[in-house]
Structure 1
Amino acid sequence: MSELRFDGVRVRFGTGRSGMVAVDGVDLVVPSGQVVGLVGESGSGKSTLARAAVGLAPVSDGRITLDGVALSHGGRGRSERPVQMVFQDPYSSLDPRMTIGDSVAEAIPRRALRGSAARRAEVVRLLDLVGLEAGRADAYPGQLSGGQRQRVALARALAGRPEVIIADEITSALDVSIQGTVLNLVRDLQRQLNLSMLFISHNLAVVRYVSDVIAVMYLGRIVEHGPAEDVLGSPRHPYTRDLLAAAPDADVDNLTRIESDPVLRAIADAEPADPHHPPAGCRYHPRCPVGPLVLPERSDCLTVEPGMDHPNHAACHYATEMLTARGLGDPRL
């Protein structure tokens, strides 16, 4: 078990006025043996943060550490990296010219097993671990279904003997009918192997199913963080509540309220801010249903950037007030 920690991590692409900060000062901990779900819209910076952890995106500021030791990606073989990533598209992450067995064997650290017989036996073991028959080792990626390819990608990640697994939208490219089986596999593997895992998704229902802790990301920053039951059961940040309202099993009364109020409807339909030029103050204020567009007296949202409110784990000036108002049945909240 290992703890993956992001301390003030910043990732910038490009230079000058054309540059963009995709991840802006993120602090996040993936505790040993736990699953942290990272959720947010497309473009929020989730995948960029994941890629930074495995050396595929440049870290311009801050540190990423594993058990207190800074991760280093230079001069090490890919299979020896302690943080392994499973990508969204299982087909593009596998070499179509290599058999499944060869792809998995390639990821086994050379010093871990010596001899072709031992490596073949390890491939069979890993395939069995992810629910694939040994005979699949001779197949090519194009001969497998999407769900089977994602199982191979999981086996390949486990072959590297990782201390942390990062799963980036691993069910979004799959048919709904097989998403559940892959999620069950991920949850079973995590519990069986006691893995630390950062599980990334835009789907709150998926994150709810596998995560112990949930972090919500918007425009490059974490805006809410806490135990899954707290974040999903009593969200503190308006963005988190809006994500929940947009989910398929959203509260009908809340959706009706938004649809019937033209101001709230306009805000709900608003596009995310330009990541090249994020708004001043709270980055969510142009879309916030309880911000200055609805409650003009909350003008500080326009200019003052909210910090993470540690008792409530939400980067919102009015997290405490909103919880109190909701408890009193305030119809705006």
Structure 2
Amino acid sequence: MSELRFDQVSVRYGTHRSGLTAVDDVSLVVPSGSVVGLVGESGSGKSTLARAAIGLAPISGGAITLDGADVRSHRRRRPIQMVFQDPFSSLDPRMSIGESIAEALPRSLRGSAARRARVAELLEMVSLDPERAGSLPAALSGGQRQRIALARALAADPEVVIADEITSALDVSVQGSVLNLVRELRRELSLTMLFISHNLAVVRYLSDHLAVMYLGRIVEFGPTEQILADPQHPYTRELLAAAPTRHGDLLRTGDTAALDAEPPDPHSPPSGCRFHPRCPIGPVAHPDRAVCRTVIPVLPTGIRGASCHFAALGSDPSARPVRGAQEGGGLSAGRTTSAVPVRTQ
């Protein structure tokens, strides 16, 4: 397995005047042999970033590399494989599941007997009976189809696997078995994986590191347990607070006026910190924090960090922003000045 790196990647659709920047100057590393969870609300750019890695979305800026080589010029056949949210639409309904898996096998595997044996091995790997190889996708349940999608991704012997909301289209009773399968495959095959989800419980179960995305930008990154135990960006805190408890209520406390505001138009994002119109510790709640409206906070490099002027200072009205934030630009991979110090282990 290999290291997948996004270096100041931007993805833009449309023209200069009426276009949409779905991903804006994102830098993210998926270390070899680890699982990085990517979370954020709908429309934050998670799936667009994943599609850019496999060539389904245009890269308008930056680079995506696999072990230092640009993925667009990689000589190896399909080194990055993606498992999509809807397993039925990602499989050809006219092809048997055995044919779908065999189609993804490397050309170096020659001979029909060898290819049939490999298909059977992959079906067993995802806990399906090899005798089902002749079945059509319509004859399978949603969970079984998602297992076929996993087997098809693994058939190409990829360097990196990207899983995009692979349990969101499944029944709750099936989600657990699929997640357990992914966890077992990760352990057995030492998979390098970018796991996209809006469910923080799922991300905690699978991921070593966590990246939080808002309106096209990464706003916090670090070890999963550290972020979930001590979220430092206000948006991350609100994602956690929105999770229902066992009693059915929400964990959110305090002033929610800013959070109830309408999400900004992605075609015309706010200046400065993009979260400031909805931020409970920003200028809506504390008018003296006008820096959030004009200055883009810097995401520090390193193991742990959050791009927020007041992340480590909470709602203290006397707090002042940390100097060194970026004026008028995007996220900076080369700056380490932030309200949150970079932590090392």
TM-score, structure 1 as length reference: 0.91
Identity of matched residues, % = 67
Which residue of structure 2 aligns with residue 134 of structure 1? 130
Distance 1:251 1:322, change over 3 A: farther
Q: Secondary structure at the match of 1:122?
A: helix
**Residue 148 of structure 1: which of 144, 148, 151 is its match?**
144
SS at match of 2:278: coil
Correspondence for 1:317:
309
| 2: CA distance, partners of 1:125 / 1:222 | 38
Letter in 2 for 1:289: P
1:201-239 Cα deviation digits (max 9, x unpaired): 111111111000000000000000000011111001000
What SS does the corresponding residue of 1:217 show, helix, strand or coil? strand
- Relative to its length, the structure with more helix (as a share) is 1
How far is 1:310 from its partner?
4.5
Q: Is the 8 A contact 2:233 2:311 kept in 1?
A: yes
Q: How far 1:16 moved relative to its partner?
A: 2.2
Which residue, 188, 197, 206 being the options, matches 2:202?
206
One-letter amino acid of the counterpart of residue 273, structure 2 = C
- For residues 173-212 of structure 1, the aligned pairs below 5 Å read 173-212=169-208
Provide the C-alpha distance between the structure 2 equivalents of 1:267 and 1:92, rounded to a whole number of angstroms. 38
User: How far, CA to CA, are the matches of 2:20 and 2:118 in structure 1?
Assistant: 43
CA separation in 2, counterparts of 1:16 and 1:268?
A: 30
- 197, 218, 242: which is aligned to 1:246? 242
User: Secondary structure, in 3 states, of the residue corresponding to 1:267?
Assistant: coil
Q: 1:122 matched to which residue of 2?
A: 118
| Residue number in structure 2 paired with 1:93 | 90
| Residue 279 (str. 1) matches residue 279 (str. 2) | no
Offset of residue 265 of structure 1: 2.8
- The reply to whether residue 70 of structure 1 matches residue 70 of structure 2 is yes
Amino acid at match of 1:145: S
State the alpha-carbon separation in 1 of the partners of residues 236 and 40 from structure 2.
9
What residue is the counterpart of 1:255 in the other structure? 251
Distance (whole Å) between structure 2 residues aligned to residue 207 and residue 101 of structure 1 = 30
Helix, strand or coil at the partner of 2:314: helix
Corresponding position: 1:4 with 2:4: yes
For 2:305, the aligned partner's letter is H
Q: Is the 8 A contact 2:281 2:315 kept in 1?
A: no
Work out whether residues 130 and 155 of structure 1, in 8 Å CA contact, stay in contact via their aligned partners in 2. yes
What corresponds to 2:226 in structure 1? 230
Q: Distance in 2 between matches of 1:118 and 1:30?
A: 33
TM-score by length of 2: 0.88
Report the CA distance between 1:252 and its aligned residue: 8.7
Query: Deviation at 1:250?
Result: 8.4
**Aligned partners of 2:253 and 2:312: how far apart in 1?**
22
Instruction: Name structure 1 gaps, 5 residues minimum.
Output: 259-263, 326-333
Q: Is the 8 A contact 2:238 2:252 kept in 1?
A: no
CA contact (8 A) 2:12 2:22 kept: yes
User: Which residue is 1:292 aligned to?
Assistant: 283
How many residues align structurally? 316
